[in-house]
Amino acid sequence: DVKVTQSSRYLVKRTGEKVFLECVQDMDHENMFWYRQDPGLGLRLIYFSYDVKMKEKGDIPEGYSVSREKKERFSLILESASTNQTSMYLCASSSISGARTGANVLTFGAGSRLTVL
Amino acid sequence: GQQLNQSPQSMFIQEGEDVSMNCTSSSIFNTWLWYKQDPGEGPVLLIALYKAGELTSNGRLTAQFGITRKDSFLNISASIPSDVGIYFCAGRRGAGNNRKLIWGLGTSLAVNP
């Protein structure tokens, strides 16, 4: 069964701490994404990557950075966590290959719920 | 960022009832996707639609790509308790490897056994 695995399901951090959220996919997908999900706001795109070492800002990149050193791994970094970054973080991946059916469909991980105190 | 208009925002129904939800936009889309998110989990794809007018079923679920390409709906027939969750629509305007999806805010479904 293909998977997107997020290393931490629950994290509690203090304001000012550096936080790493790790995501690994085993589907050889080119594209990877980080979203945050908050009640009433739906899914908001933070950053995405379409190739190793490539990244593009999403809709809410402020306060975040990302790293993609290997095709299968996409990390989200909070350089100095703040309380307004308390949220559910979702990683996803998609493929660019194949016919129209199935291409560009996102597969999500189970999520990482981060609480910043 | 842009969002789709998804309605209703929430629904509370009796087991066995049918459910209908929809998403609309002022822009034309080339792809519509419907996802379900169980509590505490990530969204899982239910149905993908790629052609205007396309009607696709997945078990008790049926989704349609609106003929104007500006809307889509999802129907669930004979609801059961495990249908509980948040349903999201998502659309893509571009072709090829257009990587960004536009999302609805979700429809939260509760089913009373």
Nearest to A19 by CA among A66, A71, A68, A73: A66
Closest CB to B42: pick one of A42, A58, A111.
A111
User: Residues in chain B with pLDDT < 50?
Assistant: none
Q: Per 3-state DSSP, what percentage of chain A is helix, strand, and coil (rounded to 5)?
A: 5, 50, 45
- A33-75, pLDDT tens digit by residue? 999 999 889 999 999 998 898 999 999 999 999 999 999 999 9
Q: What is the pLDDT of residue B79?
A: 96
Nearest to A59 by CA among B66, B99, B106: B99
Is residue A114 less than 8 Å (CB to CB) from chain B? no
Interface of B with A in 28-67 (CB under 8 A): 31, 33, 35, 40-45, 48, 50
Measured between CA atoms, how close is B43 to chain A, in angstroms? 6
> Searching chain B, which residue's CA lies closest to the CA of residue A91?
B42
Cα-based torsion angle of the residue sequence B86, B72, B77, B84 in order, rounded to the nearest 10 degrees: 0
- A93-113, pLDDT tens digit by residue? 988 754 445 556 899 999 999
